[in-house]
């Protein structure tokens, strides 16, 4: 199903019928708030680096100031960003269905900032830091935030002197165990899954819609472009998260009062 005129009412019906809804979000969810998607993030100073080459432990060991500076830049963008209408729509959706959880690949914390209550962060958070060697926590308020777009030397762990890294999941690293187990259980038991703004290229997160589909849930994709997951979706809403999600909640609210 490709036309929004049909897809949005169909998606609203599927959400209304679902006792448990999971919303799986990726970088496209924050695009309308001015945070570039992961695969579109190579801008300015960072244009000469492949983001996938900045997001590894090996890169951090080789070029700590470059990698720390890249994350500091992303964190600055996030602090300056305002969550768009689609974020607020997901908060409203929580009040319209019996149970809703958000499973996000994003590290920007915008779902929580805007007031969504059950948010599972699969890839960690830009707001947490720990040291590279022992993963001792490091207070975020002491992490340097350079004013300009620049490389930035990471601080040192106060306990062991190891360089401090962002608490995000890098390529080649395991996802946090408890959060992942919970996300997988939710995907296997939901009746509808809304998949917003993810390319479906990164594993294991890309499994979630397939698990939901396999378990009998209706899978709804919200994305302006076709993705690896489009074929697995029962309903496809082609459009931006900032436009489609409010329209979806409006359709759901109208349906509820009819």
Q: In the complex, what is the shortest distance from the CB of residue 13 to ligand OAD, in angstroms, rounded to a whole number?
A: 21
Q: Which residues are within 8 A (CB) of 233 and not within 5 positions of it... i.e. 6 or more apart?
A: 195, 209, 219, 220, 221
Q: Shortest approach of ligand OAD to residue 19 CB, angstroms?
A: 26
Q: Where are the alpha helices (DSSP H) in the chain?
A: 4-16, 28-31, 51-54, 57-62, 64-80, 85-94, 110-114, 177-189, 208-214, 241-257
Strand pairing category for 164-168 and 124-131: antiparallel
Residue nearest to ligand OAD (CB): 28
Q: Are 86 and 247 in contact (CB under 8 A)?
A: no
Tell me, yes or no, if 123 is annotated catalytic. Answer: yes
Q: Which is nearer to ligand OAD, 202 or 248 (CB)?
A: 202
Q: Which of 88, 123, 136, 234 is catalytic?
A: 123
Nearer to ligand OAD, 147 or 174 (CB): 174
Query: How far from 225 is each of 6, 127, 242, CA to CA, in Å?
Result: 17, 30, 14
- Nearest to ligand OAD of 11, 257 (CB atom): 11
Long-range contacts (CB closer than 8 Å, 24 or more residues apart) made by 104-108 = 104/24, 104/25, 104/26, 104/29, 105/24, 105/25, 105/26, 105/27, 105/198, 105/202, 105/205, 106/25, 106/26, 106/27, 106/29, 106/30, 107/74, 107/166, 107/168, 108/30, 108/35, 108/74, 108/78, 108/81
Question: Cβ closer to ligand OAD: 125 or 223?
Answer: 223
CB of 15 to ligand OAD, least distance (A): 17
- Report, in Å, the least distance between residue 7 CB and ligand OAD: 14
Distance in Å, CB of 197 to ligand OAD, minimum = 3
Q: Which is nearer to ligand OAD, 161 or 204 (CB)?
A: 204
Binding site residues, ligand OAD, CB under 6 A:
26-28, 31-32, 37-39, 55, 105, 123, 169, 171, 196-199, 201-202, 223-225, 227, 240-241
Which residues are identified as catalytic?
123
């Amino acid at each position: 199903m490709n036309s929004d005129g049909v897809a949005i009412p169909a998606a609203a019906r599927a959400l209304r019928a679902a006792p448990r809804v999971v919303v799986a979000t990726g970088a496209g969810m924050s695009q309308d708030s001015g945070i570039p998607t992961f695969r579109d993030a190579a801008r300015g100073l960072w244009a000469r680096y492949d983001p996938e080459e900045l997001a590894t432990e090996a890169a951090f060991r080789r070029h700590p100031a470059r990698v720390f500076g890249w994350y500091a830049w992303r964190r600055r963008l996030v602090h300056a960003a305002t969550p768009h209408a689609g974020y607020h729509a997901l908060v409203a959706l929580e009040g319209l269905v019996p149970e809703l959880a958000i499973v996000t690949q994003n590290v920007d914390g915008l779902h929580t900032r805007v007031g969504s209550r059950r948010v599972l962060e699969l890839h960690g958070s830009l707001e947490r830091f720990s040291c590279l060697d022992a993963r001792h926590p490091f207070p975020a308020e002491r992490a340097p935030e350079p004013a300009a777009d620049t490389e930035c030397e990471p601080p040192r762990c106060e306990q062991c002197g190891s360089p401090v890294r962002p608490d995000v999941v890098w390529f080649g690293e395991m996802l946090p165990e408890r959060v992942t187990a919970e996300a997988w259980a939710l995907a296997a038991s939901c009746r509808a899954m809304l998949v917003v703004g993810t390319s479906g290229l990164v594993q294991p997160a890309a499994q979630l819609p397939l698990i939901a589909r396999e378990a009998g849930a209706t899978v709804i994709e919200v994305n302006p472009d076709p993705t690896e997951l489009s074929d697995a979706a029962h309903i496809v809403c082609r459009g931006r998260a900032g436009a489609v999600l409010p329209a979806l909640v409006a359709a759901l609210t109208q349906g509820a009062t009819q």
